[in-house]
Amino acid sequence: MADSDQNSSWFDRYKWCEPIAQGGMGVVYLAEDKGNGNARCVIKQLRSDSESPDEMKEGTRLFKREVEMLRSLDHPGIVRFFDYHSSEDGKYFLVMEHIQGNNLETIIQNYGPFSPDDAVKVGIQICEVLEYLHEQNPPIIYRDLKPSNLMLTPDGQIVFIDFGIARVFMPKQSATRVVTAGYSPPEQYFGKPETRSDLYAFGATMAHLLTGVRPRPLLPSIPSQKVEGLLPSLDNLVIQCTSHTPADRPESARLIRHKLYRIYQEIHPDFEIPEEALSNQINNKEEQFISQKILQSGLKAASNASENLPHAKGAESEVFSDENMPTGVMKVFEDLHQRLSSQKVPVYEDESTADDGIESRKPGRPGKEMRATLDRLQRQPGFFEKLLGWFGKR
C-alpha cells in the first residue's frame, strides 16, 4: 500500500471533532475513534521544523521510541496512549485517552485557590505518579509539572496529561532546554534536569494551588505570604521543595508523600497513621491503604471538575539554547541575585504584576554574553556562587 493510502486510511479511522488547545508545540483535537465504537479520544498533532530528510528520519525514530515507552506506562494517574502516526511531510500524531474533567489551572481560575485539605489530597496523588515515573528503569523525568498539565476528574482522580513528547523534535543542540517560567528549577535552565527537578515543580504547583497565584520564576515559593493561618509544616514543605539547589530539596517524591500524610494528620487529628507504614524503605500495602483512606474522604474541588468549563491556558513551555537565550532570562538571573542579596525573604507579587513568563520576551544577546553574565555572577557571593558551583560538579 502506498504511503498516501496508509495516511488516508489512518486519518479516516477518526472523526476529527474540534481543536481544544493550541500551543507552540502543536495542536490538540477532540476526536472519535470509529474503530472503537466512536469512543472519544484526544489527538495531539506535533510539528517538526526540520527540513532535512536525515533529521526527519531520526525524528520519526525517536518519536516511535518515545511513544512505545509511554504506551508501556500503566498507572491510573497517567493518561493512556493508544495510537500514533507520522506522515511524510513531517507531521506526527499521538492518540490519547480523553479524560473527563478540568485541568487544575481552569479550576483555580474559575473557583479560586484550593483549600489546604484539598491541596494535600491532590499533592499525595501527584507524588504517587512521580514515584511511579522515577522508579522506572531508567527513571522518567516528567519535566513539565504544572496545574495546566494535571486533570482532575469528577471522581477526584488526578491525571497527568502531557508528557512533553514534542522535545523529540527540538533542534539537535546539546544546550537546548525546555522550561516553564515559574515551575522549572534553575538546573533545568542549564539543561541538567534530574528527578528532583520534578520535586521543585511539585512545590511550585502546590504554591499555585494554595494561593491561586502563579509562582514567580526562579524564586522559592512561600504560600504563607498569601494564605493566612496556613500550617507551618505545609508552608515549609513547599519552601523546601522549591529550594534552588537540588540537594536541599526532599530526597524523593515518596518522602514528600510521607510528609503530606503527617500534614493531613495535623488537619484531621483523629486520622491515625500506623508507624510501620512509614518505616519501610519501599512502598507497601499499608501506605496504599493510607492514601486510599485519605482520598475516600472526598475532594471538594472534584465537584468543580464536572462543570463544562473552557480550559484555561496555563504557562507555556519555552524552548531555547545558548545561542537564542531570551534577554528576559538573563535579566531574571541578574534580578534574582539582587533580590536575594537585598531581602531575607522573597515576596510573592500579585498576579497583576507577575511576570507572564519568558514567552513574552524576544531573543536577545548571544550565548557568549550569557556565559559572561553567569561568570560575573559566579564571582559574587551568595546564591549564585553555590548554584553555579553545583553545576560545575555535574
Q: Which residues are catalytic?
A: 144
Rounded (10°) CA dihedral 47, 104, 156, 78: 30
Please list the alpha-helical segments (H only) found in the chain. Answer: 3-12, 53-71, 104-111, 116-134, 186-189, 195-211, 232-241, 253-267, 285-296, 302-305, 327-342, 367-378, 383-393
- Please state, in angstroms and rounded to a whole number, the distance separating the CA atoms of residues 357 and 386: 25
C-alpha distance from residue 379 to each of 192, 342, 368, 371 (Å)? 21, 17, 17, 13
Residue 54 cell numbers, joined: 536525515
Buried b (16+ CB within 10 A) or exposed e, 2-41: eeeeebeebeeebeeeeeebeeebbebbbbbbeeeeeeeb
- Please state, in angstroms and rounded to a whole number, the distance separating the CA atoms of residues 322 and 153: 40
